[in-house]
Structure 1
Amino acid sequence: MLKLFQVYDSPFPTRVRLLLLAKNIPHQIIEPPGFKWDGTPKGDYFEINPIGRVPALVLEDGRALPESEVICEYLEDAYPEPSLRPADPFERATMRLISRICDIYLVMAMVPLFNASGRPRKSWDPDRLAAAMAEIAKALAYLEEYIGTQGYAVGASLTQADGALVPQLVLASEWAPMVFGLDDPLPAFPKLSAYWTAIQTDPLAGQLIAETREGIRASRERAKARNG
């Protein structure tokens, strides 16, 4: 059985879980040590993934793959049906483009917020928070240009792009405004807002969104206990 090393409050493993669920691939979820900001070392996890990040996928023969995008490409090649890559070459490229915007622009815009959330509230810099939210809005504007209009990120069915996008929209539209008391940036983008409403009605996407929300809730509770 495949083993997926991951945590639920990270957006990157979500796209891997989407493929595992959509393709009905038997797998085991393992949360490695060192990802709860409690000082616990990652220890033996470095033997599985020397990069030290999540996710990592361990195959039945013991070989391991890091990096979510690479894992998804492996799963598509090893388990081709049903495919979560569009058949049309341009749509397939758009799928990869949306994922790339999420990884390079949206998540990087949120890094200052991730860092601040791990520190006591009194240390937060309002100007830096506002600047981060402006960068998030800029990334969402990029996505607005390319997001699909049929209820999914690309085309009329789930693709890898949905797995990349949905956890990041939870973070950008729900987590960041809630934690830092800032305005939700999503309503300024009508196509992206319509997508967000529609994708939550898809059973698999809805499951991933619920898992992400619960992971974030648990992470916030740990942060409150740690910071007082």
Structure 2
Amino acid sequence: MKLFQTYDSPFPTRVRLLLYAKGIEAEIIQPPGFHASVETKDEYLKINPIGRVPTLVLDNGRALPESEVICEYLEDAYPEPSLRPDDPWERARMRLLSRICDFYVVMAMVPLFTLAGRSRRHWEPEVVNAAVGKLAEALAYLEDFIGEEGYAIGRSLTQADGAIAPQLVLASEWIPGLFGTPDPLATLPRLAAYWRAIQTDPIAARLIAETRDAIAEQQAAAKARASAERIAT
């Protein structure tokens, strides 16, 4: 089994959560053509024509894209230990939290991702402020539905934790650190309590550390490129 992914993208993180929690062995591969790579995605597009990460390739060669679909497959194929609540209502809440991450939190951050790839002199304050406002709204949705027992749902890891944890690294650490904006969790006590608690879970802590390390690596690479461009000019 192979997982094509990048560590700084929040979407493969939820897949790695299942791999780690279930003890599933998979080769982790970063495909060409992502980040500032001069390589093309041509080879990766042969595996996943959508061209996004992650993609799970089974031992028989069949390829499955889209993180939520991959997670559902892994739950069905490797049911123990389950990362889906038994109770139908709690299972629906788990899926709701993941959906909020995908449709509201991520989309609010897209303009900031775009700006981060540009020189600081091209950052528009109004774009930053608008995106930060939208992000605050999206995180408030999580605040309304997040669990209060140390995990997104109930008292153990679920798929929702794999969706939320990497988003909070971006929202409460990367964005304030890069753009100089306040930590949005300061006004969201339930989500802030969850963030403190989830970092004490060994598997979640591993995912969070991987995300932080990947972000730091990308920031260092961006600084190196900017420095090289200044020297060249």
Q: Smaller-chain TM-score range?
A: over 0.9
Equivalent pair of 1:187/1:193 in contact (CA under 8 Å): yes
Q: Which amino acid aligns with 1:106?
A: V
CA distance in 1, matches of 2:66, 2:132: 26
User: For residue 75 of structure 1, what is the aligned residue in structure 2?
Assistant: 74
Q: Which amino acid aligns with 1:56?
A: T
Cα RMSD over matched residues?
0.7
Residue 107 of structure 1 deviates from its aligned partner by 0.3
CA distance in 1, matches of 2:226, 2:63: 35
In the alignment, structure 1 segments of 5+ residues that lack a partner are none
Larger CA deviation: 34-43 vs 214-223:
34-43
CA distance in 1, matches of 2:31, 2:151: 32
Question: Structure 1 length normalisation: TM-score?
Answer: 0.98
Residue 223 of structure 1 deviates from its aligned partner by 1.4
CA distance in 2, matches of 1:38, 1:45: 13
Q: Which amino acid aligns with 1:45?
A: Y
- Secondary structure at the aligned position of 1:44 is classed as helix
Q: Deviations over 1:135-158 (max 9, x none)?
A: 010001000000000000001000
Equivalent pair of 1:199/1:206 in contact (CA under 8 Å): yes
CA distance in 2, matches of 1:93, 1:142: 15
In the alignment, structure 2 segments of 5+ residues that lack a partner are 228-233
CA distance in 1, matches of 2:40, 2:220: 20
CA distance in 2, matches of 1:216, 1:85: 29
CA distance in 1, matches of 2:113, 2:37: 15
CA distance in 1, matches of 2:25, 2:57: 12
Q: Which amino acid aligns with 2:62?
A: R
Residue 38 of structure 1 deviates from its aligned partner by 3.1
User: For residue 27 of structure 1, what is the aligned residue in structure 2?
Assistant: 26
CA distance in 2, matches of 1:183, 1:37: 28
Question: Structure 2 length normalisation: TM-score?
Answer: 0.96
CA distance in 2, matches of 1:223, 1:213: 15
CA distance in 2, matches of 1:187, 1:118: 27
Equivalent pair of 1:119/1:227 in contact (CA under 8 Å): no
Q: Deviations over 1:1-26 (max 9, x none)?
A: x1000000000000000000100011
Q: When the two structures are aligned, how many residues end up with a matched partner?
A: 227
User: Identical aligned pairs, as a percentage?
Assistant: 67
Does residue 222 of the first structure (1) align with residue 221 of the second (2)?
Answer: yes
- Secondary structure at the aligned position of 1:97 is classed as helix
Write the mapping of 1:140-155 to structure 2, written as runs, cut at 5 A.
140-155=139-154
CA distance in 1, matches of 2:156, 2:24: 19
CA distance in 1, matches of 2:48, 2:122: 33
Q: Deviations over 1:108-127 (max 9, x none)?
A: 00000000000000000011
